Structure 1
Amino acid sequence: MAEQVEFKSNGNTLKGILVRPEGVTGDVPLVIMAGGWCYTKEVVMPHYAKSFHAIGCATLYFDYRNFGESEGDRRQHLNPWEQIEDYRNAISFAQTLKGIDHKRTGIWGISYAGGHVIITAALDSRPAFVISTVPVVDGFQTMRRTHGERRFAELQKLIADDRQARFEGKPGGNMPMSPKEDPTKELSSWPFPHVYAGFMGIKAKEAPLHEHWNTIESTEWLLSYVVKPYAQRIVETPVMVALARADNITSADLEVEMFNAIASPDKKLVSVGGIDHMSLYTNVDHLAKMGKVQAEWLEETLARLDH
């Protein structure tokens, strides 16, 4: 049963959806879910949630501040530390919910949020488990690789010019999340036309509040984003990192390096074949394939947490 909920995060009211599994009695485990770059809560998360409902878990997926139905003064602005703070406040909200097993409440994230959940678990002792899906783990290296050296230099200039404008009291600028067609004609955060096509399809069918642009400052924040130093702090929390074998957006070598840095011996890395980064959004069969792998790991992990 789906229930609309809301909670506060640094003065902003965040909106979410709480879904409890059908036919399950007693306190149930909870998976807290949030999305990646410019997501709203309707983007893919309801599909992944079904795999967790099938093993008797509740799910809570929410809009970060500045996105979707949540409050926020700078629309489409992504500050990763604010989003991590939103995760932590979602955990605090979950602690107030009846019918939830607070000792078996954990966090799930995809893409940018795949990195967020690792950092959250490094900073916050409350998550009982972490599931990180095709995570962005090093913003500088990812941007340099996806844009190429020449376009990356142009991106850096755009960011520097925007910073200077903000220093002079002018409003910060915006840029596309990804290009509609030719990525060489306009700078975007993620220079892949198939990303635009995929998200437009999702927007038309399931997520009408998704907007395919972001502040330039959001991309500047991304360049300072590194997950590995935080991964080293995770000593006891069970962690799954799930990669798409054909992913051409996030880099497997960076993801594996981050995974290897996780100190906890209770960790699992899986590389799921036959899927890529965007097919985890646009292909229901691929969604189900990844969701099944994650749900199986979670079911085993939760059974161990019972003892």
Structure 2
Amino acid sequence: MTAHSIASDFESEGETCAGTLLLPAQVSPPPVVVMANGFGGTRAAALPDIARHFVADGYAVYLFDYRNFGDSAGQPRHWVSPRRHLADWKAAVRHVRNLPGVDHDRIVLWGTSFSGGHVIETAARDPGIRTVIAQVPHVSGVASVLQVPLHISFCLMLAALRDQLGRAFGRPHYSRIVGRPGEVAALCSAECWDGYARLIPPGERWENKVLSRIFLELPFYSPARSARKVKAATLIIAGERDSVTPAAAARRAARRIANCEFHLLDGNHFELHLASEAVCRQSIALQLAFLRRQFAP
């Protein structure tokens, strides 16, 4: 099924967020899947390949970039912040609820990695959300931080303090998003360097950096704490070999959601993002089957 692509931006706290609506042919009005990327990612990284599977199955897909990333406005650039991201998700859902040509009663929140936590948190705050898909989600700040070697966490914390000090003088300090094992970066386990690189399409304007202030927030951002408030039908998919967002934490979060389906697949964090990988296609098949059950007459 061929997708019709429409640019559709929205405002979040006074800044413009770039969005793209993909519409399937011969389905009117289709359910709509709202998607945004994880830690430091843009909507161009891996998400279009996954979105095509949803469009082929008759769903509209709305992809957006957070403020300060990708094609969205906002300064300084590369600002990861749970509070800001959640405000962008709220604004994106409000925007989709006003879009013509889609079914406003059948909105699906789809998140992966860091945004996998965002969709859980957003659904907990918005009782109108009926369906959520969270793939390899960040659900526990402590669990994610413990995946990083202690000496690297210490260096990142120092960088965060330097960034906070620099804010007062308009001199932000950046850290690397991804590095090789032993290097100072937010993501530095064995799978990360090559795995993250495979997400970035050729020609994409992506930089391997993030404002260091996030490392003061990250340990305290745990969407699992809000999981019991989620009323939406939820699907959580975790990777058995995930060294970024541990599967055990995802399973614990799933148990707190009243109507939640959990699957553990034999893959690492980044393989679950890559439609060229068999485990990603297995994940997508589970997601489509889940949605068919939710939206069956």
- Same fold (TM > 0.5): yes
Shift of 1:283: 5.5
Q: Does 1:293 align with 2:291?
A: no
Shift of 1:160: 3.2
Choose from 208, 214, 223 the match for 2:210: 214
Query: Which residue number corresponds to residue 261 of structure 1?
Result: 256
Is contact 2:196–2:270 with CA below 8 Å preserved after alignment?
no
Summarize the Cα distance change of 1:153–1:49 in structure 2 as closer, same or farther, 3 Å threshold.
same
Query: Which residue number corresponds to residue 50 of structure 2?
Result: 48
Shift of 1:72: 0.8
Is contact 2:109–2:119 with CA below 8 Å preserved after alignment?
yes
Shift of 1:155: 2.9
| Ranges in structure 1 where 5+ consecutive residues have no aligned partner | none
Choose from 195, 198, 206 the match for 1:198: 195
Choose from 20, 26, 30 the match for 2:32: 30
Choose from 2, 6, 9 the match for 1:3: 6
Letter of the 2:14 partner, please give it: G
Is contact 2:159–2:173 with CA below 8 Å preserved after alignment?
no
Distance (Å, rounded) in 1 between the aligned partners of 2:136 and 2:165: 34
Identity, in percent, stands at 26
Question: What's the secondary structure of 1:254's corresponding residue?
Answer: helix
Letter of the 1:254 partner, please give it: A
Choose from 263, 267, 270 the match for 1:278: 270
Query: Which residue number corresponds to residue 138 of structure 1?
Result: 140
Summarize the Cα distance change of 1:29–1:260 in structure 2 as closer, same or farther, 3 Å threshold.
same
Distance (Å, rounded) in 1 between the aligned partners of 2:61 and 2:95: 13
TM-score, normalised on structure 1? 0.89
Choose from 118, 123, 126 the match for 1:124: 126
Matches within 5 A, 1:152-163: 152-163=153-164
1:259-284 CA-to-partner distances (Å, cap 9, x unmatched) read: 1122x2x21011122x2111123451
Letter of the 1:176 partner, please give it: R
Matches within 5 A, 1:163-182: 163-166=164-167, 169=169, 171-179=171-179, 181=180
Query: Which residue number corresponds to residue 19 of structure 1?
Result: 22
Distance (Å, rounded) in 2 between the aligned partners of 1:101 and 1:198: 35
Shift of 1:141: 2.9
Shift of 1:35: 0.6
Question: What's the secondary structure of 1:28's corresponding residue?
Answer: coil
Distance (Å, rounded) in 2 between the aligned partners of 1:212 and 1:153: 20
Is contact 2:23–2:60 with CA below 8 Å preserved after alignment?
yes
Distance (Å, rounded) in 1 between the aligned partners of 2:33 and 2:44: 16
Summarize the Cα distance change of 1:166–1:89 in structure 2 as closer, same or farther, 3 Å threshold.
closer
Q: Does 1:58 align with 2:60?
A: yes
Shift of 1:204: 4.6
Letter of the 2:177 partner, please give it: M
Summarize the Cα distance change of 1:14–1:166 in structure 2 as closer, same or farther, 3 Å threshold.
closer
Summarize the Cα distance change of 1:118–1:68 in structure 2 as closer, same or farther, 3 Å threshold.
same
The alignment of Structure 1 onto Structure 2 pairs a total of residues equal to 293
Distance (Å, rounded) in 1 between the aligned partners of 2:285 and 2:29: 23
- Larger mean CA deviation between 130-139 and 244-253 belongs to 244-253
Distance (Å, rounded) in 1 between the aligned partners of 2:251 and 2:280: 21
TM-score, normalised on structure 2? 0.92
Is contact 2:49–2:275 with CA below 8 Å preserved after alignment?
no
Distance (Å, rounded) in 2 between the aligned partners of 1:194 and 1:256: 21
Shift of 1:94: 0.9
Matches within 5 A, 1:233-252: 233-234=229-230, 236-252=231-247
Choose from 90, 105, 108 the match for 1:106: 108
Distance (Å, rounded) in 2 between the aligned partners of 1:245 and 1:20: 33
Choose from 92, 95, 99 the match for 1:93: 95
Shift of 1:250: 1.0
Query: Which residue number corresponds to residue 184 of structure 2?
Result: 187
